[in-house]
Amino acid sequence: MSFFGFDPTAPPGARPNEQAVSHDFQDTYDGLGELEDGDDIYNDETFGAAGSVGKDFDFGSASGHIQPGAGLPAPQTISYAQAAAQSNDDEFMADLWGANAPAQASSDAVVGAVTGEKKILSLEEIEAQLTSIDQQQRQLPQQPSQFAPPPFGYPGMMAPPQYGGYMVPPGGFMPPPPGQYAPQFPIMQGLPGQLPPQLQQPIPQHPQQQQQPQQPQQPQQPQQPQQPQQPQQPQDAVHQKSSAKADLSQFPVLGSKDVERQHQQPHQQSSEDSQFQSQSQKSQQPLPAQSQEFNQFHRDNRHHNHHHHHQQQDLTPEQQERAARRQEKVSRIMRYSGIMNPKDKDFVTRFQLSQIVTEDPYNEDFYAQVYKVIHPKNSSLQETSQQHNSIAQAYLEQSGHRLGGRYKRADVALQRMQQQVQKAVTVAKERPKLTQYAREGALGKISFGTGKKPRQQLEIISKAAQRKLEKEKKELEGGDAVSDELGEEAVAKKNRSPSISAPRVIKKYSKKDIMSILEGIITELMSVESESRTNANVDTTQLWESLRVLEQSTSFGEDEEVNPFIQCLNFNKGLKILSRLFKFLSREQVLTIVTLIMSNLENLSVIKNGSYTTYETKKVPETIVKLVEVYSMTFSKVLMNAVLDFKFNEIIGLLVILIEHNNVAYVSTTKIGLTILTTLLSRAELIIGEGTISATDLSEWSSCYDELFTSLESRIAAIFPPHPEDIDDGSSRENYVWQFLATLSLGGKLNHQRIIVDEVRDEIFGVMSRAKAIDDADADNLYKKSNLLNNLNMYLVVMGLVADETEIKELQT
């Protein structure tokens, strides 16, 4: 089948007659390509000659003028390699570029290809032939160099390796067809930046290209007008072959520049004079250079002369030095410029961006995001300069990129990145999330590694997991046949639902277990948090389950296992997440947690170890004191907020649970215990103060209060630590002990208050004497005196009393 609707099997003689018919489409031809193309004869090689060929192919719009010769049928036996080897590439090229009479040359080539029936060459023979031709060409004067490879920008066309480094013109203003301008660049690299206007100009093309000015700069277009539509493959190969040939002759081989220079010598000598003249005009128009070498030399010269210019202008040594330095700097910068073509740069940029791009900036770049929230753009100056790249800016902000155009230089880069970013994002989103996949026919698996998630080398299932898998398998297979021991365990496992476990075995949480649970909670919390940023309705069931609040504590004699959540509260990090945690819990869940805590107060290490009574020195150790501080910063506040939501009977219920499960007298000797009691009591009293409480609730309350008071009675003085300075040296405005007593008195009746006063009388006078001990002249400590008295009076005011440092009076109202 031929592309042009000819029957390749028909005898050549019949051709001319048919032409009249087949040339109808000439009218539609756009006239851009004047070339003849001899390659059509290989169509049947490529596409096979079988099948009848119609004439209604619509390739006319793009195809060139059909020459009689072009339509000649190729003998079926001719191989492509054979044909390619036969055709004289140079002539072919010249013909292609219109250097010779096209029709004649092309038909020549074709005729040569067709008629020169040779035996099919082996690869070695072809190579030998090529090299011999190359050598011949090398011997030739500059003439062959005119026939540079045509500017066909085949994407797949590989540049011959020897000039790989010189592929792109400096400045990177255009991607030339690989190799086409290659010879210019060894020289260009030395070109100083003093000639910027020239650099901005496209480098003068060699004559062939100037003859076709309509399209010199778009080599990436696969279909150029000069390139009639035709089978890509043969054409490709021909060009590769021809360019390879031409390369050897005219392109500098790395390390062989000297040879090249020598080559050029005669030419340069002859044209030197005229160049000097044109040089002084600094003209920008393309010179009537005959060859690329000519151009190179010209440029070289220009550079050279520039120096002379400067020196002639009587520059001061300083200026000269400066100019030289500048020149040196520029040449250093220019040295490697253009090594990467825009495609390379695109690739690198995309690669870098793909490392930056993240779908979850809040998790992966949390601090930068938070920083941005805390420090909104404060420099308006910066902002104005950033307006033009707001898209990239916005994107980068979203993606957690910190650099965000802080420098002007980055601005420019960002601008150019915009498209890249969008592309990269879409690509990243479309990319499958697999870490590896097996490609059909590939040996082994292809795995993707990123900076964040390095390539995984091995996949190992832990032994425990494997055993579990096997066991489950056995269970399925064996059913009842499992051994007793195993069966029991399996049953125990089966019975354990995620949140409520009913284990048969005695279990004990090691510290590691608790830590693991705690980290699990934190992980769940963070994922819930990040989800909540995008979605208002977050599913918190997993978070709730990870808390293990409902895990039943089992008691076996002395060894009571404390609920893991309570154990988690013994660690700093467990406390720190409390306020974040409670945000995501429902009221019922919060109530459940608080109830759990109330029943387990004595298991909290701040309570268990927080009482001075357990220490011989009557002092709480430093570590516990620190933990207590953390508690009052975190837990107490969270509890206070939570209690605000509770109903009156719920608070009573909490108090009852607290009294039943704990030794109130002991709990009251700890700071946190007292604070909790204060919180509950004061909330209850506030609700009572609102006056909307039913009589039954009130009676419940009074019985609850009585119970509490009974357990405290005769031990109230013990809530004061033996070293009162420890808890209140007057420096703080709050004293939790007096606060508690005030709350307790407020809720009690007169006889309650009397009992309290009786018990703490010594403490009241103690505070007064301590206040008195602070010298009025000691201005630095004077505030402590008032603080001490204020704290004391908070309690006394409840009973209508007020104290100064010497006496207690009735409150004047």
Partner 1 sequence: MSTIRTESQQQEPLDLIRFQLDEFVLVKLRGAREMKGRLQGYDSHCNMVLSEAEEYIYSAGDEETVVKKTEMVFVRGDSVILISPISE
CB of 515 to partner 1, least distance (A): 3
631 binds partner 1 per the rule CB under 8 A? no
462 binds partner 1 per the rule CB under 8 A? yes
497 binds partner 1 per the rule CB under 8 A? no
CB of 551 to partner 1, least distance (A): 10
Q: Which of residues 415 and 447 has its CB atom nearest to partner 1 in the complex?
A: 447
516 binds partner 1 per the rule CB under 8 A? yes
Bridge partners of 437, per DSSP, are 446
How many whole angstroms from its chain centre is CA 379? 26
d(CA 373, CA 387): 19
- Residue 208: CB atoms within 10 A of its CB come to 18
Q: Which of residues 448 and 571 has its CB atom nearest to partner 1 in the complex?
A: 571
519 binds partner 1 per the rule CB under 8 A? yes
Nearest CA to 309 among 296, 323, 330? 323
- Residue 189: CB atoms within 10 A of its CB come to 17
CB of 519 to partner 1, least distance (A): 5
d(CA 683, CA 412): 61
d(CA 768, CA 738): 13
515 binds partner 1 per the rule CB under 8 A? yes
Q: Which of residues 507 and 749 has its CB atom nearest to partner 1 in the complex?
A: 507
CB of 452 to partner 1, least distance (A): 10
Q: Which of residues 409 and 463 has its CB atom nearest to partner 1 in the complex?
A: 463
CB of 559 to partner 1, least distance (A): 8
Q: Which of residues 129 and 523 has its CB atom nearest to partner 1 in the complex?
A: 523
CB of 361 to partner 1, least distance (A): 19
How many amino acids of this chain bind partner 1 (CB under 8 A)? 26
CA end-to-end distance (rounded Å), the chain: 117
455 binds partner 1 per the rule CB under 8 A? no
Q: Is 635 exposed, middle or buried (0-12, 13-18, 19+ CB in 10 A)?
A: buried
Residues in 328-347 at the binding interface with partner 1, rule: CB under 8 A: none
628 binds partner 1 per the rule CB under 8 A? no
517 binds partner 1 per the rule CB under 8 A? yes
Q: Which of residues 337 and 501 has its CB atom nearest to partner 1 in the complex?
A: 501
505 binds partner 1 per the rule CB under 8 A? yes
488 binds partner 1 per the rule CB under 8 A? no
Residue span binding partner 1 (CB under 8 A) among the ranges 110-118, 505-513, 535-543, 641-649: 505-513
d(CA 441, CA 444): 9
Indicate the angle between helix axes 342-356 and 408-430, nearest 10 degrees: 70
| Residue from 4, 166, 251, 509 binding partner 1 (CB under 8 A) | 509
Angle at 676 between CA 672 and CA 677, to 5 degrees: 120
629 binds partner 1 per the rule CB under 8 A? no
| Residue from 518, 566, 704, 742 binding partner 1 (CB under 8 A) | 518
How many whole angstroms from its chain centre is CA 66? 56
| Residue from 326, 345, 406, 508 binding partner 1 (CB under 8 A) | 508
Q: Is 496 exposed, middle or buried (0-12, 13-18, 19+ CB in 10 A)?
A: middle
CB of 623 to partner 1, least distance (A): 6
Residues in 544-583 at the binding interface with partner 1, rule: CB under 8 A: 564, 571-573, 576
> Are the CB atoms for 801 and 811 separated by under 8 Å?
yes
| Residue from 503, 653, 724, 766 binding partner 1 (CB under 8 A) | 503
Residue span binding partner 1 (CB under 8 A) among the ranges 25-33, 209-217, 392-400, 461-469: 461-469
d(CA 289, CA 287): 5
d(CA 543, CA 207): 75
513 binds partner 1 per the rule CB under 8 A? yes
| Residue from 443, 484, 512, 557 binding partner 1 (CB under 8 A) | 512
510 binds partner 1 per the rule CB under 8 A? yes
Q: Which of residues 319 and 572 has its CB atom nearest to partner 1 in the complex?
A: 572
Q: DSSP of 248-316, one letter per residue?
A: HHHSPPTT-HHHHHHHHHHHHHHHHHHHHHHHHHT--SPP--SSHHHHHHHHHHHHHHHHHHHHHTT--
H or E segment to which residue 20 belongs = helix 15-22
458 binds partner 1 per the rule CB under 8 A? no
**Number of alpha carbons in the 13 Å side-chain half-sphere of residue 82:** 18
CB of 567 to partner 1, least distance (A): 11
H or E segment to which residue 654 belongs = helix 648-661
CB of 260 to partner 1, least distance (A): 50
Secondary structure (H, E, C), 769-796: HHHHHCCCCCHHHHHHHHHHHHHHHHHH
Kindly list the distances between the CA atom of residue 232 and the CA atoms of 3, 153, 235, 246, in Å, as whole numbers in the listed order: 12, 12, 5, 21
Q: Which of residues 228 and 564 has its CB atom nearest to partner 1 in the complex?
A: 564
> Are the CB atoms for 651 and 641 separated by under 8 Å?
no
d(CA 361, CA 398): 7
For partner 1, the binding residues (CB under 8 A) are 461-462, 464-465, 503, 505-513, 515-520, 564, 571-573, 576, 623
